[in-house]
Structure formats: C-alpha cells, structure tokens
Amino acid sequence: MPSTPSARPCPVHSLYDAHHHWLYELLRRRLGHAWDAADLAHEIFVRVLKRPPDLQDEVHQRSYLATIARGLCIDHWRRRQLEQAWLRALAACPPAVQPSLEQRAIIVETLHEVDAMLNRLPQRVRAAFILAQLHGRPYKAIAEELGVSERMVKKYLAQALVHCALLEAELDGLLVE
C-alpha cells in the first residue's frame, strides 16, 4: 500500500531525531552552559526548517549542522563580549542614572543590532565610521590613517549612514525582511 504524504517523516524531523542530542552535547561543551546550548540547538533547527538541506548521509548532515553551530557560537560569544563591555561601563555610572531592567534589555538589543550592522559593512567603511563617530576624528586624519583620499572617506561615511538609516527603519518596524 503506498504511503500518504503525511505518513512520510519530514526530512528536518529525521535530521532532528538523528542529530539533536549530538548537536546539543557539542554546543554544551563549547559554550560550557546547558541553557545556552539548548537555545543555540533550537536556533540551528529553526534555521534548518527555513532552508532544509538536501543531505543524504550522516557525515554531511553533521558537517552541515556543525558549520551552522560554529557560526552561531561565534555570534553568541560576540554578543556576550559586547554585553559584558556595556555592563562594565554601566557599573561605573552612579546608581541615580542606572537604567531600569526594561531599558537595559532594550539598550543591549540595540547594541547587538548596531554591532551586527557594523559587521555587515566593509572593513574600511566600518573603520571610517568608527573613527568619525566614536573618536571624533576629522576626515583628513581618517584619510591618512586609512591611506585613502578625503573624498573616499566621505563616500565611506555616506555608505555607513545609509546602513544606519536602514537599521533605524528596521528597528522602528518600517522594513520587513
């Protein structure tokens, strides 16, 4: 009797059944924390659901999952470093100006979004933007440091500002992915 489409197991479900425990243990060892490992394992399978791979053998499946895990671990560690740096800076502020827990969560999420936006920029564009915005360097000094013309610095900063505007629109919910 032929099987009905609903009777066949979903490829992602089979992938999950075959590799979730292995993936969770890999992440737990790398991250040193069971909750973070569970969160990232979940995120990996959410990504797999969005783009199911066509991998037949176990070696390729594990390689695929490990590649996604590696990228998510790097993102996780980056986010933690950024959050810890912000918390250290916040600890230096007097208690009267400390934001509420809700404000802290919003600030941390915004920092992650800005960090992600900066990382999407080409290296020189990112460097020019940081030198101008965070260090207040004039265009001429930035041009000398980057080994480019002042005109190129202006182009870099314009490109970075377009990305900032897109990020702001995205955060305001005006853009849909």
50-59: long-range contacts, CB 8 A cutoff, minimum separation 24: 52/11, 52/12, 53/15, 55/15, 58/18
Q: What is the pLDDT of residue 1?
A: 47
- Dihedral angle sign, alpha carbons of residues 111, 116, 119, 124: negative
Given a contact cutoff of 8 angstroms between Cβ atoms, the answer to whether 157 and 128 are in contact is yes
Instruction: List CB contacts of 43: < 8 A, sequence separation 6 or more.
Output: 72
CB atoms within 10 A of CB 136: 8
pTM score, whole prediction: 0.64
CATH ID of 9-96, from 1.10.1740, 3.40.50, 1.20.950, 3.10.50: 1.10.1740
Per-residue pLDDT in tens (0 to 9) along the chain, 177 residues: 444 555 455 677 888 888 999 999 999 999 998 999 999 999 999 988 888 877 777 888 889 999 999 999 998 998 899 889 888 888 888 888 888 889 888 888 888 888 888 888 999 999 999 999 989 999 999 999 999 999 999 999 999 999 888 877 876 776 555
User: What are the extents of the domains in the chain?
Assistant: 9-96, 99-177
- Tracing tokens 């505007």 back to the chain, one arrives at 165
The CATH number assigned to the domain with range 99-177 reads 1.10.10.10
- Tracing tokens 């849909």 back to the chain, one arrives at 176
Q: What is the pLDDT of residue 61?
A: 87
Residue 102 token pair: 């809700």
